[in-house]
Amino acid sequence: MTQILLRQDHTGQCLSFGQYCDAGGFEALRTALGGMSPNDVQQAVIDSGLRGRGGAGFPTGKKWSFVPRNLPGPRYLICNCDEMEPGTYKDRVLLEQNPHILIEGMALTCYALGVEHAFIFVRRGYEQAAANLRTAIGAAKQAGFLGSDILGSGFSLQLDIHQSAGRYICGEETALINALEGIRANPRVKPPFPAVKGLWGQPTVVNNVETLANIPAIIAHGPTWWKGLAATPEAAGTKLFCISGHVRNTECFELPLGTPLGKIIDGPCGGMRPGSTFKACIPGGASTPYFTREHWGVAMDFDPVAKAGSRLGTGGIIVFDQNTCMVAATLNLTRFYARESCGWCTPCREGLPFLVHTLEKIEQGLGTESDPDILREHVHALNYAFCALAPGAMGPVEGLLRLFEDELREHITKGRCPFGD
């Protein structure tokens, strides 16, 4: 199994700049600047079939192609490292092990897009990752991979780190742009889309850490090779899966995209922890509807997961055992979203706290027969919110209603949580 992203030194520490270069680091950048046009780089990414690793799975090359190249003024690239949803920690692990690959990936992307100033938006609390990045940027600059006239190619790039002040909504790309501009991170009206009018009104691409970290391998080994790393012919590349919950090994693994769910849990995760049996899991971060045993064989790739009624999302898998109350788990997730709502639009601001209150009521045994329908109505209505936060919040609630309605109703009929002591 080939790993291209997660590489640590033999002591398990962060890879040094020298170690990264010795293992072929920055060769892709050399190759690109030496003989590829920016368009060649973009084409390679399009050919590779790389899809965004931040959650939405939008084809990366296509996103780049939306950037108009003929507008006056600068263009910007922002690396989204605002990883804040429960159960997702892959970007932290990646940056704690190998920050250099992100820098090389960003340099390649900036070359492809004609960007001379890029930002890394780092989540509050990821101090180690930010420190690693600072060191890595310093080393890359010293070695001539950043700064002006990189490798004599005439291409220049300044890379800056912005430490977020902390807010889940910053992960939404237009909210992130507002945060970078020093104001409240409310999402912006779209259109105009950031690719046309983003940071300081200029064309801007926002890509996830993992997405950008895949670019060097695509350029170094070619899109076909990279695509072939996946477990199925339809999938492309590898994926970071970060696991938590009731399994033996709660770690972040780099696996071929399209590896079946059961294989991940029984394989690298080492199965369930002693005394636990699998009840359900969140397959791709806090906004994705649950998977149960029936989804054991689903290939963990964007389209198959969507077909099975959920989303691959970030690849953050939280595994629940038989003692987990799904109402309480859903309540916990909904509380997260209610707290993180920026307060901008009506459905999200007013609807999420109401859902929290309703789920609290049910969990406390005070639910009524009409509550499941009220929940269902909100799942529908909250899809019409301003941004994707509220629809995302509805993932688990929708999953609860679809897969665990009996458990939900049991709370109501018994007048208590069946898992309570």
Partner 1 sequence: MIPHQDYKTEADRHDAMEQILRQHRHSPDALIEVLHFAQENYGYLPRELLGRLAEQLKLPPSLVYGVASFYHGFRLEPRGRHHCTVCTGTSCHIKGGTALLAELERRFGISCGETAPDGSFSLDSVRCLGVCDLAPLAVLDDDIISAETIDALADKVCQCLAEKSSTGKSP
Partner 2 sequence: MVNLTIDDKQVTAPKNATIYDAAKLNGIKIPILCHDSKLKPFGACRMCLVEVEQMKGRQIPACTTPITEGMIIRTATPDIIKARKMVLELLLLNHPIDCPVCDKAGDCDLQNLTYEYEVNANRFADAKFNHVIDYNNPLIERDMNRCVLCGKCARICDEIVSFGALTFMDRGIETKIACEFEAPLNCEFCGSCVSVCPVGSLLARPFKFKARFWALTNQKTVCSYCGTGCNLTLGVKDNKVLTTVYDENQGFHKGQLCCRGRFGYQFINSERRLTTPLVRKNGTLVETTWDEAIEVIAAKMKTAGASTAALATPRITNEELILFKELMETVGSNNYDHSAGYAHAALTKGFVQSLGVAASPASILDVQKTDLLLVIKTDTYETHPVVGFEINMAVKNKEVKLNILSDKRGKLSKLPNAKTLIHVPGTEIAVINALAKVIVDEKLADGTAASVPGFAELEKALAAFTPDAVAAQCGLTAADIKQLATDYAKAEKALILFPVGLPYPGHNEDLASALANLAILTGKLGKEGCGVLCMAEKNNSQGAVDMGFYSTAGMDAGKIIDGCASGSVKTLFIAGENPVVSYPDHTKIAAALDKVDFLVVADLFMTETAAMADVVLPACSFAEKEGTFTSVDRRVQHIKPAIRKIGQCRSDFEIFGALITKLGGKPSATPAKTFEAISSSVAGYAGMSYASLGETGAYAAVSVKPSFVVPKTMSLASESGKLALVTGSALYHSGTMSQYGEGPMYVCPEGYVELSRNDASKMKIAENDLVIVTSSKGSIKLKAKISMRMPQGVLFAPYHFSETSINRICSGAPVTWVSLSK
Q: Does 118 bind partner 1 (CB under 8 A)?
A: no
The span from the CA of 126 to the CA of 176, in Å, is: 16
**The binder of partner 2 chosen from 307, 339, 402, 414 (CB under 8 A):** 339
Neighbours of 416 (CB within 10 A): 14
**The binder of partner 2 chosen from 125, 222, 228, 353 (CB under 8 A):** 353
**The binder of partner 1 chosen from 9, 22, 184, 306 (CB under 8 A):** 184
Residue 239: which of 193, 330, 305, 165 has the closest Cα? 305
> H/E element holding 291?
strand 291-292
Q: Does 121 bind partner 1 (CB under 8 A)?
A: no
Q: Does 200 bind partner 2 (CB under 8 A)?
A: no
Q: Are 245 and 318 in contact (CB under 8 A)?
A: yes
**Residue 374 binds which of partner 2, partner 1, none (CB < 5-8 A, kind-dependent):** partner 2
User: Cβ 167 to partner 2, closest distance in Å?
Assistant: 7
* Closer of 279 and 311 to partner 2 (Cβ): 311
- In terms of DSSP bridges, do strands 278-282 and 316-321 run parallel, antiparallel, or are they unpaired? antiparallel
The span from the CA of 46 to the CA of 150, in Å, is: 24
**Residue 24 binds which of partner 2, partner 1, none (CB < 5-8 A, kind-dependent):** none
> H/E element holding 119?
strand 117-122
**The binder of partner 2 chosen from 46, 381, 388, 417 (CB under 8 A):** 381
Neighbours of 198 (CB within 10 A): 25
Per CB under 8 A, contacts with partner 1 among 211-250 are 242-246, 250
Q: Does 336 bind partner 1 (CB under 8 A)?
A: yes
User: Cβ 331 to partner 1, closest distance in Å?
Assistant: 9
The span from the CA of 14 to the CA of 7, in Å, is: 8
CA-to-CA separations, 59 to 51, 53, 110, 327, 390, in angstroms, rounded: 4, 10, 17, 35, 23
Q: Does 292 bind partner 1 (CB under 8 A)?
A: no
**Residue 351 binds which of partner 2, partner 1, none (CB < 5-8 A, kind-dependent):** partner 2
**Positions in the binding site for partner 1 (CB under 8 A):** 83-89, 92-93, 123-127, 130-131, 162-167, 179, 181-185, 200, 242-246, 250-252, 282, 286, 316, 318, 320, 324, 328-329, 332-333, 335-336, 339-340, 342
